[in-house]
Amino acid sequence: PAYAELAPYNVVVVALEEDPTIRMVGNLVASPDGPINEIDPHSIRIGEPVRVVFSPVEDMVLPRWVRA
């Protein structure tokens, strides 16, 4: 319910370059502090390079991804 007003939003699975067997889940965002629904899901391409950013959300910090 906490994310219902933000729908639709993307969820991506990222394989790390250092070890592709390790994968992380997060949202692709345009900027580190941007909302999770700011990227058009139709613009996301499998294999595009991304870099991690960490965003504080309430009492935790979540990994999110921006295009490299």
State the chain's mean pLDDT as an integer.
93
Question: What is the rounded average pLDDT of the residues 25-42?
Answer: 93
Strand, coil or helix: 41: helix
Going by C-alpha positions, the residue among 9, 10, 12, 6 that lies closest to residue 49 is 12
Q: Which residue has the tokens 């992380």?
A: 24
Terminal C-alpha separation, the chain: 31
35-66: pLDDT as tens digits? 999 999 999 999 999 999 998 888 999 999 99
pTM of the shown model: 0.86
Question: What is the rounded average pLDDT of the residues 15-25?
Answer: 95
